[in-house]
Amino acid sequence: MNVATAAPPRRPAFTFSSVAAAPKPLGPDTVTEAARAASALAPHPAATAGKAATLAGLLGALAALDLQIAGLEAEMAPLLAATQGAKLTQIRGVATVAAAGFVAFVGHTGRWADWSKVWRAAGLDPARSQSGATDASYGISREGSAWGRRAILDLAAGVCRQPGRFHDSYQARLRHRKHPKVALAAVGNQVGRTCFALMDSGADYDPDHQTNYAERRTATQPKAGGRAA
């Protein structure tokens, strides 16, 4: 005689979403009680013993380092003034240390045909893949000097923190959804080119140079159907 047996209940299907589901938030009563319990417990003496003295020692060490850095910058300033980079600190955001690092990497501008050679030597030019008619550009090549890249990007980081055309250029690229590192490298190209030109010419920095140059170029361009103004 066949006896029908009841089928065992089926378990719910396993899904990863059920495992990764976010926990339910705690109710307001639970949060209030936990906060009250935490405030009622006094900190253990072992957790705070000697912490004030340790913090005071760390703050003192940082203050001493600040004094040493300021002293080194004061010593570097006259040395920088004796180089081609004497005018670089006229650019807002370019400090003595950043300017000295850039001058140390570039050396004398007569070593280079133009700024593009310095840019490539720092490995900041885009990597390229050429095959026949295909010529694709990628991220920076990193084929040059890592120290040179750091010197140029230190300049860029300094000028981006100060109001001016370099800061505006950086923010404009961020608004166009450029990666911050890409935007910083682009500003490094701009400020590095400016610093190289100042070193090569010995001229003072003119913050309105780009605006004046654009206006002069517009004024000398020939109008449609006529000659240049």
Whether 2 is covered by a domain: the verdict is no
Whether 148 is covered by a domain: the verdict is yes
pLDDT at position 211: 64
Whether 6 is covered by a domain: the verdict is no
Give yes or no for a contact between 88 and 99, defined as CB atoms under 8 angstroms apart.
yes
pLDDT (tens place) for every residue of the chain, 229 residues total: 555 555 555 655 545 444 445 455 556 667 677 777 666 666 667 767 778 888 889 999 999 999 998 998 899 999 999 999 999 999 999 999 999 999 999 999 999 999 999 998 998 876 655 666 655 555 666 677 888 999 999 999 999 999 999 999 999 999 998 888 889 999 999 999 999 999 999 899 988 776 665 555 566 666 555 554 4
Q: What is the CA radius of gyration of the chain?
A: 31
Q: What is the DSSP string of 37-94?
A: HHHHSPPPHHHHTTHHHHHHHHHHHHHHHHHHHHHHHHHHHHHHHTSGGGGGGGSTT-
pLDDT at position 222: 61
- Kindly give the interhelix angle for 180-201 and 96-106, rounded to the nearest 10 degrees: 70
Cα pseudo-dihedral 49, 55, 56, 60, rounded to 10: 150
Whether 70 is covered by a domain: the verdict is no
pLDDT at position 108: 93
The torsion region of residue 202 among left (phi > 0), alpha (psi -120 to 50) and beta comes to left
Name the burial class of residue 9, with classes exposed (0-12), middle (13-18) and buried (19+) by CB atoms within 10 angstroms of its CB.
Answer: exposed
Residue 226, classed as helix, strand or coil, is coil
Cα pseudo-dihedral 96, 102, 107, 113, rounded to 10: -140
Q: How many domains does the chain have?
A: 1
pTM to 2 decimal places: 0.64
Whether 156 is covered by a domain: the verdict is yes
* Contact partners, residue 93, CB within 8 Å, separation at least 6: 158, 159, 160, 161, 162, 164, 166
Task: For residues 196 and 217, give the distance between their C-alpha atoms in angstroms, rounded to a whole number.
Answer: 22
| Bridge partners, 129 (sequence order) | 136
**Structural domain of 199:** 77-216
pLDDT at position 19: 44
Whether 62 is covered by a domain: the verdict is no
Whether 205 is covered by a domain: the verdict is yes
Whether 87 is covered by a domain: the verdict is yes
pLDDT at position 132: 61
CA angle, corner 194, sides to 189 and 198, nearest 5? 145
